Amino acid sequence: MLTQSDSMALLQYPFCKDVWMVLIPLCIERVGFGLVEGCVGPVLNYLAYQKDEAMVGALNGLFNAAINVGVTFGRLIIPLASLLNIILGRHG
């Protein structure tokens, strides 16, 4: 099954001259996502255990919801913000 990043990569194929133009950004994205998911979750669990053990489930739910919202809407917002900067003439 294709994930959203895979389908975004498929949209890039007509504009790419070789496969590395698609694979390298995907690899960087997935490694970064894995690092964030693998590091932030245990730190939040540790902090929740220090405060109150009953908060762990709620904190994990909020963390997963935030990650899912970021993955879903972040890929839509970043290209739109870049396009807006180009339209307004703010090349960075």
pLDDT tens digits, residue range 37-59?
Answer: 888 888 888 988 888 888 888 88
Question: How confident is residue 91, by pLDDT bands cut at 50, 70 and 90?
Answer: low
Q: What is the pTM of this model?
A: 0.55
Q: Does the CA dihedral 68-27-75-88 come out positive or negative?
A: positive
Residues 52, 55: Cα–Cα separation, whole Å? 6
